Amino acid sequence: MQRDIFDADHDAFRDLARTFVAKEITPFHDQWERDGQVSREVWLAAGRAGLLGTDVPEEYGGGGVADFRYNAVLLEELTTAGATGIGFPLQNDVVAPYLLRLTNDEQKRRWLPGFCSGEIITAIAMSEPGAGSDLQGIQTHARREESGDWVLNGAKTFITNGILSDLVIVVARTDPDAGSRGFSLLVVERGMPGFERGRRLEKVGMKAQDTAELSFSDVRVPAANVLGEPGGGFGYLMQNLVQERLSIAVGSIAGAARALALTVGYTKDRTAFGRPIANFQNTRFELAEMDTEVTIAQVFVDRCITEHVAGRLSVTDAAKAKWWTSDLQKRVVDRCVQLHGGYGYMLEYPIAKAFVDSRVQAIYGGTNEIMKEIIGRAVVG
């Protein structure tokens, strides 16, 4: 079906993003996979190209257009190219809302220009060794000194951009007796004494994405590095998880569509018993089912994007989009591997890499079991 949520400006931005990916990412991604992280140079190149901070006001070096459709376009182009190591979506889709909505003027001047230029790479640290989707289980804590500064202690894990990050938003418990009102967001910057990066985690897939453990030992965080109001952290997380989960949905459906396109091409070229395997009824039925499911899911995701741009996307609908599309991506990629036969298990074929890269979509941003819990509560009241 013809998608109708983008206009000429978005199409021009897509051309820009596609050209950038082809020139600055695709030729180097295999090496980044071997290195375990991308280069800082690609972040600077993205800043020069205007791909970072499209919704940041122009006075701070951003694009000045608060329109999530630009975020979606960039994510779709990265996904279509199989560029799973690039952390731009985390910067634009996940961290940007915190820095735009919660920072004061001084913080904006200090952080946003580098955010947009690619000189400041960001991360957000929620998950812990003993607390993943259960944010109430967070043990990282900070105490306030008489000076107003905070002393931070704890550990985080599964942190995307963890090695390269220059600025990390840390979720910390600041009042153990206040329940959900006892969490605050503290910004930890590269070079602060006591802030250490642990090992780069060896993942099943997404090898070029630097995912790491972080530790904080008596890290003194200035009062000027608190985001929003102390004690408001949990509420801020709930507000911003809507966009994060929509971003995962956008990437998931784009990934499913890519896997399907790769498989259609393969089945047309690959022969068995003297004819292309695309000519077998089972193959056509498999492709027909997947194409239908991907089309239907894309329509729902596009509607969610439209609702989000209008400021109406609910927590429940974002959870539906994240759960359904990431689960669909798993099913589609698995079926596509099967249609590739033995070659589908070889990493030299893009479908094999898609198989290992896509599995995490159903886990991060809140596991799909958590998504069903959110939806279920909305259903039963």
In angstroms, the CA 172 to CA 185 distance is 6
List 219's β-bridge partners, or say none. 152
Helix axis angle, 315-340 to 281-309, nearest 10°: 160
Task: Give the pairing of strands 226-227 and 183-189.
Answer: antiparallel
In angstroms, the CA 269 to CA 232 distance is 56
Pair 158, 201: CB distance under 8 Å: yes
In angstroms, the CA 103 to CA 115 distance is 13
Among residues 24, 76, 128, 244, the one annotated as catalytic is 244
In angstroms, the CA 184 to CA 226 distance is 8
244 classed as catalytic: yes
Q: What is the largest CA-CA distance in the chain?
A: 80
Catalytic positions are: 244
